[in-house]
């Protein structure tokens, strides 16, 4: 009897520590409203697919260290893209190599033949990176492979005839993003191939034919092209195709960043309206972002909230980095030009308290929280978020150059990398006189959505002590229309 009692108590203790492990999310700098891995290293979001009411998020994961290493696909699930449940690792490295970035689709018509008992399979399309090939000086060590799941993403089976796209001799040959091109009933793979994008098509996700290339003479080329995405957005009843391409280095504020092109896609070629680069996010910390597949008419983007310049040395120990807030993409027109605007998904309402008016008097605040500010006309200003240790983060607008900025030069711990402490700028694209900005502030990140998402900036920071003060400063009178604070509730509780 005593023996049974003993076992019962041990089981209780084990259960409790397991629950505790799942919910322990209060370390210093641990994001409270953004997805981050329970522990160890994470980079790009991967395989984002919506299926049976669940948003799946896979991610580049190295479970043995807090710096980059042999890549796996970590896995998390959510019903609202805000609250997440950690799942077990979905894909492990194998004899073909590490599991690099890629995408996932629901194969509704069973084109792949992977269905069992009529249940549509999920198919993941990813890059195999062979470290031995790389070490031996070859240039064909990255190729595309697939895996499928017949239990709604819980477990994955790698296809026996991998790889499905062989390497033609291009060193950087990776990050397949696959979508269904309904008009011609075929799959399109958008692949980053060194300094351009290569499009492939397939009827069954297994046999791929090269269709075209884009970008050798378009856009920014300060670094290698990675993690592309091709997606249609509706604009006044017409389809506008967006080609998203991450680039590292060569971002507008140094290091990694994500550019995009707008144009048409005819099933074979991407035909850009312009070959000039536009930036999805001007800040230093939004990289490798792509959109969820199978979300109907909604296009929801999620990025990795870091920068390859310093990602491996940011001052967090048990885990490294987080994802951005999921953002809904839409087309907006300014004068005669089209842009992609991004705003936090409406599901944020689930963690938002009632907005409070702080325009008369700013109380002591705590973050995570949202700051919403409206001004009748453009005027210089800085929103200063700080603590009593004189550490501060400035987010503002400079009228003379018509630019928004984030200044983290005095934001706290900044000396872990020389490129970290800086003031970052982004052009104001809107032509409206009213300025409207919304800041999503977590304990170690800020996301600035200006003018309904036309100009976006994301930056991380590491104050010695949490910020709890806010003030607005300007050399001139600020034509304030409104200033509101929205408390955001911890997603892990
Ligand atoms: C982008 C990237 C991808 C690659 C992955 C490896 O951040 O370099 O191109 O697939 O990370 O982890």
DSSP output for 74-86: EEEEESSSSS-EE
| Cis-peptide into 249, omega within 30 deg | yes
| Ligand 1 pocket: which of 58, 59, 100 to mutate (most atoms within 8 A of CB) | 100
Atom of ligand 1 nearest to the CA of 68: 12
Ligand 1 pocket member 99 (CB < 6 A):
no
Residue identifier of the C-alpha nearest atom 6 of ligand 1: 100
Quote the ligand 1 centre to 177 CA distance (angstroms): 13
What pLDDT does residue 475 have? 87
Query: Phi then psi for 233, rounded to 5 degrees?
Result: -125, 145
Instruction: Choose which residue among 74, 93, 101 to substitute to test ligand 1 binding: the one with the highest number of ligand atoms within 8 A of its C-beta.
Output: 101
How many residues are listed for the chain in this entry? 493
Distances (CA, A) of 459 to 16, 95, 471: 36, 38, 19
Distance 43 CA to ligand 1 centre (A): 8
With a CB cutoff of 8 Å and minimum separation 6, the contacts of 111 are 187, 203, 204, 205
CA–CA separation, 34 vs 316, rounded Å?
Answer: 15
Cα 219 to ligand 1 centroid, rounded to whole Å: 20
For residue 119, the model assigns a pLDDT of 95
Any ligand 1 atom below 6 A from CB of 60: yes
User: Which atom belonging to ligand 1 lies closest to the Cα atom of 100?
Assistant: 10
What is the H or E stretch that residue 224 is in?
strand 224-235
Q: Which atom of ligand 1 is the closest one to the Cα of 129?
A: 10
Is 44 among the residues known to form the active site?
yes
Whether ligand 1 lies within 6 angstroms of the CB of 281 is answered as: no
Residue 25, pLDDT score: 85
Ligand 1 pocket residue status of 101, Cβ below 6 Å: yes
3-state DSSP assignment of residue 7: helix
Q: How is residue 122 written in tokens?
A: 């999920």
Whole-prediction pTM: 0.95
Which residues make beta-bridge pairs with 337?
Answer: 334
DSSP label at residue 419: T
227: CA distance to ligand 1 center in Å? 7
CB-neighbour burial class of residue 116 (10 A; exposed 0-12, middle 13-18, buried 19+): exposed
Q: In sequence order, what are the beta bridge partners of 64?
A: none
Pair 366, 487: CB distance under 8 Å: yes
Q: Is the CB of 100 under 6 A from ligand 1?
A: yes
The H or E element that residue 173 is part of is strand 173-181
Q: Choose, from 39, 44, 229, 468, the residue flagged as catalytic.
A: 44
The neighbour count for residue 365, using CB atoms within 10 Å, is 17
Per-residue pLDDT in tens (0 to 9) along the chain, 493 residues: 456 566 555 555 555 544 444 446 889 999 999 999 999 999 999 999 999 999 999 999 999 999 999 999 999 999 999 999 999 999 999 999 999 999 999 999 999 999 999 999 999 999 999 999 999 999 999 999 999 999 999 999 999 999 999 999 999 999 999 999 999 999 999 999 999 999 999 999 999 999 999 999 999 999 999 999 999 999 999 999 999 999 999 999 999 999 999 999 999 999 999 999 999 999 999 999 999 999 999 999 999 999 999 999 999 999 999 999 999 999 999 999 999 999 999 999 999 999 999 999 999 999 999 999 999 999 999 999 999 999 999 999 999 999 999 999 999 999 999 999 999 999 999 999 999 999 999 999 999 999 999 999 999 999 999 999 999 999 889 999 999 999 999 999 8
What's the burial of 313, exposed, middle or buried (CB within 10 Å: 0-12/13-18/19+)? exposed
Residue 19 confidence (pLDDT): 47
Cα separation values, 73 from 61, 91, 347, Å: 6, 5, 25
Which residues, in sequence order, are CB contacts of 36 under 8 Å at separation 6+? Answer: 30, 42, 319, 321, 322, 323
Please give the radius of gyration of the chain, using alpha carbons only, rounded to the nearest integer. 23
Strands (DSSP E) along 36-120, which ranges?
A: 40-51, 54-62, 72-78, 85-91, 98-106
d(CA 455, CA 447): 11
Q: Answer yes or no: are the C-beta atoms of 187 and 176 closer than 8 Å.
A: no
Residue 12, pLDDT score: 54
d(CA 189, CA 165): 10
Q: Report helix, strand or coil for 4.
A: helix
Beta carbon of 62 within 6 Å of any ligand 1 atom: no
Q: Is the CB of 442 under 6 A from ligand 1?
A: no
Of all helices (H) and strands (E), which one includes residue 126? strand 122-129
Q: Are 176 and 127 spatial neighbours (Cβ–Cβ below 8 Å)?
A: yes
| Strand extents, DSSP E, 423-479 | 423-427, 435-442, 445-450, 455-460, 469-473
SS3 329: strand
> In 358-479, where do the E strands start and end?
369-375, 381-386, 392-398, 403-407, 423-427, 435-442, 445-450, 455-460, 469-473
Q: How far apart are CA 174 and CA 165, in angstroms?
A: 10
């Amino acid at each position: 009897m005593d023996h049974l009692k003993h076992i019962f108590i041990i089981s209780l203790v084990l259960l409790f520590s397991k629950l505790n492990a799942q919910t322990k999310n209060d370390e210093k700098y641990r994001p409270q409203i953004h997805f981050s891995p329970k522990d160890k290293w994470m980079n790009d979001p991967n395989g984002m697919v919506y299926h049976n009411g669940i948003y799946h998020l896979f991610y580049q994961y190295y479970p043995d260290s807090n710096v980059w290493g042999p890549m796996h696909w970590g896995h998390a699930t959510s019903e609202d893209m805000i609250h997440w449940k950690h799942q077990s690792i979905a894909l492990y490295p194998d004899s073909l190599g590490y599991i690099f970035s890629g995408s996932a689709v629901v194969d509704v018509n069973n084109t792949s033949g992977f269905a069992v008992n009529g249940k549509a399979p999920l198919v993941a399309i990813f890059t195999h990176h062979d470290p031995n090939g790389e070490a031996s000086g070859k240039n064909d060590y990255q190729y595309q492979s697939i895996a499928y799941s017949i239990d709604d993403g819980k477990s994955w089976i790698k296809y026996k005839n991998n790889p499905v796209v062989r390497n033609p001799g291009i060193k950087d040959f990776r990050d397949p993003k696959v979508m269904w091109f309904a008009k011609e009933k075929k799959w399109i793979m958008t692949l980053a191939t060194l300094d351009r994008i290569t499009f492939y098509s397939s009827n069954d996700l297994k046999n791929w034919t090269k269709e075209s290339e884009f970008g050798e003479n378009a856009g920014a080329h300060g670094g290698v092209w990675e993690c592309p995405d091709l997606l249609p957005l509706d604009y006044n009843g017409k389809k506008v195709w967006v080609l998203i391409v991450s680039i590292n280095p060569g971002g507008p504020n140094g290091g990694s960043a994500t550019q995009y092109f707008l144009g048409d896609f005819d099933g074979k070629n991407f035909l850009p309206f312009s070959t000039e680069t536009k930036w999805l996010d001007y800040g230093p910390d939004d990289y490798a972002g792509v959109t969820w597949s199978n979300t109907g008419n909604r296009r929801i983007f999620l990025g990795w909230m870091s920068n390859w310049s310093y990602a491996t040395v940011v001052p967090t120990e048990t885990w490294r980095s987080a994802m951005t807030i999921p953002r809904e993409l839409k087309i907006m027109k300014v004068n005669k030009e089209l842009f992609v605007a991004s705003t936090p998904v409406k599901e944020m309402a689930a963690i938002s308290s009632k907005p409070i008016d702080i325009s008369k008097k700013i109380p002591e605040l705590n973050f995570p929280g949202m700051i919403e500010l409206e001004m009748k006309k453009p005027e210089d200003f800085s929103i200063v978020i700080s603590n009593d240790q004189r550490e501060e983060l400035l987010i503002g607008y400079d009228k003379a150059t018509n630019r928004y900025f984030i200044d983290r030069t005095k934001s706290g711990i900044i000396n872990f990398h020389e490129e970290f402490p800086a003031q970052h700028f982004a052009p104001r694209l809107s032509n409206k006189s009213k300025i409207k900005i919304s800041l999503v502030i977590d304990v170690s990140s800020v996301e600035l959505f200006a003018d309904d998402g036309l100009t976006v900036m994301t930056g991380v920071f590491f104050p010695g002590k949490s910020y709890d003060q806010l003030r607005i400063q300007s050399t001139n009178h600020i034509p304030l229309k409104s200033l509101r604070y929205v408390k955001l509730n911890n997603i892990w509780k």
